[in-house]
Structure formats: structure tokens, C-alpha cells
Amino acid sequence: MCSVRSFAAMPGPQPLPLVGNSWRFALGRRPWRTTALDGALWALRALAGTDGAAKVSKLFGHPDLVFPFSAEEVERIYRREDVLPHRAVAPCLKHYKEELRKNFFGDEPGLIGIHGEAWARFRSRVSRPLAAPEAARASVPVLHHVATDFLDRMEDLIDERRELPEYFITELYKWALESVGAWALGTRLNCLSADDASARSIIACIHGFFYSVPKLELSAPLWRLYSTSTYRTYIKALDDFWTLCLERLTDKGVCGQIAKTYGEKVATILAFDLLLVGVDTTAAAAASTMYMLAKNERAQRRLQTELDQNLPTDGTMNSKVLDKIPYLKACIKESLRMKPVILGNGRCIQSEAVISGYRVPKGSHVVFPHYILSNEERYFPSPDEFVPERWLRDGDVSGRGDHNADAGARCERARAQYVASKQKEMGIHPFASLPFGFGRRMCIGKRFAEVELQLLLALIFQRYDVSWRHGELSYSVTPTYLPNEPLRFTLHQRTRSA
């Protein structure tokens, strides 16, 4: 039996006296940059070794961070958590809800940035309308209307070269925001209007929040000493966003249902949290899936065949139609495996634990590096190849029309079949790719986000051939994992196959 090693023996970047490891993120040198945490994770993976763990200790205002690089260890930790799983609290958001705006939030802190009894009580009130499968399925008609409006918007944006504009990611934000508003608030926010001032204000709030978070949470917490410019941007974004949620609350949608039972305050706080985390994430997932399919003609053609065979000709959509497009769902899963919108999540352990053979003290924050695990060869053969078939039960890469394929296409299909076959032999570890998290703290809007993505992507790829004529996209953490370069997709109208 292997002996348990001390926490001090766990590898990781060495902290300096007094300043710890915070100086690394403050200076922003590779790989310790808040926008390049993917590189930092790979550096820690190299230190940890296979099935090992690494740590980043002595960060100002934060517990020590522990990264177990094993899906088996991640599963073990998830499985043993208690009924009140503790995520590491975001100090800035906690400060905002519990101190700055305590008069409003009081004992109703919401779902984001909170844990413990208050979180459990709030979640018990809102979970059924959000987590029930029938709730998301009932939202299909209204989300379909949002998606069709967005396609009309896309057509207006295409230039003479049939290329989308450099700011297309902002348009995806608008679509995601309009979608959340439709099912959560039960109202259209008019975000898809070309010059809607309120929509621009909401988008600005979300950007202000997300671009401030990595700087405030990972760098030295100078905001605790004085009001830094980043801190002021963060607080203004949250205040504006909160005001907008108050103005937009109606008696419809999921939040309207909750307001009738638990009051407008609970509904408003839920709307605040849902819109705060449901825009950047869904937009990022849509962008990455479009990009992966635009670069993979074989997968795009198979998807279009599936859509042509199953989407109704009269344009109506319901939940039964979504049940008939498993390949699209596989495409989304594969994209989120390769480019998860959040690189990882974690738990703050409430008692001493042995993790990857090391004795980890109580209060440490265990970070599950899903981005690394879902891009490792030992869990996903040829992890850098986009092969949606690895998620299908039969793993079959064939499709109608394959007999007309040229030699290059046949070669691509053979390669995909090889990867899918290897994956089928190996199986997929259920904890190697968790884009929505796991357990009681899984993304509570997961089902709605999946419906939004399926509807939008189904309509885009049924109407258009989507191609990519530029270099490889690079990604940054904002903290959502987003492309750095403009999303200049080329779209050509296609004729639906029989």
C-alpha cells in the first residue's frame, strides 16, 4: 500500500516569501496569465504527471488550489461530497451580495458565488421549474422564434463576400441574451434589434462583469484596500445589470412562475443570476461548435443530411423534432469537449482529505481541470480531432451520399471511423468531460442551454453551408473560454436535400 505524502510534497510553482504566488498573475508572464489559464493548466499537468496532482499555494485572499489530473480522482471527490457541496466563493461577488447590496439581497443570496444553507434553501425553491425536463421542452416554440429571428439578423449582417462581420461574437451574445429573456422572463428583450439601447446596455454590463472577474479574483486583492478601476467597472456592471433585471421582470416565464410562489424578490435574484451566467457561456458554445463544423466538411455534411431528413418543411419545431437529431447533439458534445466554455470547476473541501496520494488540508479549493482531462489521449483517442461519432452509441461515421465521395473525403471518413472505433473500445469516462459540472451544483440552466444551442445550430446548418477561410482560432479565458480572433464565417445558401 502506497504511503500518503504530505501536502508540502505536492508539486507546484514555488511561492515567494511575503508575496506568495500572486506575483505570477500580477506580472502576467506565461503561463501565469489570467487570460491564458489553459496554458497554466497544461504547465501544472506537466508537474503533476499522469494521475498526479499539482497545487498553486499562497494566493492573496484565496485558499490553496489543488488540481487532480485524473478523471477517476475527480469522480471519487464528486461522489463523496455531502448534501451541501461547497464551491469556492468568488470574494468579489460575495462582497457585492452580502455587503455592498445587503439591503436588497439580505438572506436571499441566490445561486451564484454562494454556498451553504442559504444556497440550498434558494436552490430548493427554484430547482423544479428549471431542472424539470418538461420545462425546457415547453420552451422550444419561443426559443425557435428567437433563433429564426437571429437567422434573419445574420442574413442582414453578411457582406458582399458572404462573410459575417468581425463583431459576430457580440451578435451571438445578443442571441443568447434574447433566449434567456424569452424562457426565464417570458418576454422578448429586443436584443436582436440593430440599435436597441437597452440591449447594448445589458451586453456592456455582462462584458464589464466577465472581463473584470479574472483580474479581481486571481491578482492581488487590492480592491479590498482601495477602489481600483477594475473594481469600479465590476461594481457598476453589476449595479446596472441588477437594475435592468428589476425593470424586465414580468409575470411570465420561469421567473414569473417563481414570483407567484416565492415573491418578486426571489424571482429577481434568480433572473440576475441566470442572465449573468447564461449569456457568455451559451454564446461561446455556439461559436466553438460553428467553428468546428465549419472546419470539418465531413461532419457538416452528415449533420445537414440528418437535419434535412428530420426538420419539418413547414418550419415548425417542437421537442419531438429535437429527439430526432442525435448527430447535432454529438457535435455540440464534441465541441464542448475540445473547447469547454469553462476550463474547470471545483469544491472547497470541508475536512482533510487524501487526494491523488497527498494529504490535503481542510479549506483547500480542489479544482477539477476538465479542459485538460477532456483533451487527453488516455481518455479521448486523437483528442485534437473533431469526431462527433465518438459520442454515438454505434460510432458509425457513414451517411447517405458517401458512395459519391471523392478519395479525400473517403480518407477523412476512414480516419474518423478509426478514432470512433478506438473510442468505442475504450469507452468514455463519465467524469472526463463535464462542461456543465456534476451533482447538486451542476449548471441549473443546462437543459435550457442545450435547447437554445440545438435550435440555433439546426437552423443555421440547414440553411447554410458554413466555411472558414482564415487561420486557426486562438482562445483566451475571460473567464469564459472564448476565441480571440473575429468570427468571420462564410455562409452560402444551400438547397435542402430530398
CB under 8 A, 24+ apart: contacts of 303-310: 303/327, 303/328, 303/331, 303/461, 304/461, 304/462, 304/465, 304/494, 304/497, 305/399, 305/400, 305/401, 305/497, 307/458, 307/461, 307/462, 308/462, 308/496, 308/497, 308/498
Rounded to an integer, what distance in angstroms lies between the CA atom of residue 93 and that of residue 139? 30
Grid cell in block for residue 367: 479544482
Q: Which residues contact 19 (CB under 8 A, 6 or more apart)?
A: none
Amino acid of residue 124: S
Residues 356/12, Cβ–Cβ less than 8 Å = no
Spell out where 400-463 has E strands: none
Residues 475 and 339: their CA atoms lie apart, in Å, by 9
**Strand-pair partners of 491:** 466
CA distances from 305 to 298, 308, 322, 462 (A): 11, 5, 15, 9
Report the C-alpha gap between 383 and 369 in whole angstroms. 15
Strand partners, 348: 365
Cα separation, 139 vs 132, in Å, equals 12
443 annotated among ligand-binding-site residues: yes
Query: Residue 28 and residue 100: Cα distance in Å, rounded?
Result: 29
The angle at the Cα of 476, spanning 475 to 478, to the nearest 5 degrees, equals 140
Strands annotated E in 314-445: 345-348, 353-355, 358-360, 365-368
Q: Which residues are annotated as a binding site for heme?
A: 443
Q: Which residues are annotated as a binding site?
A: 443
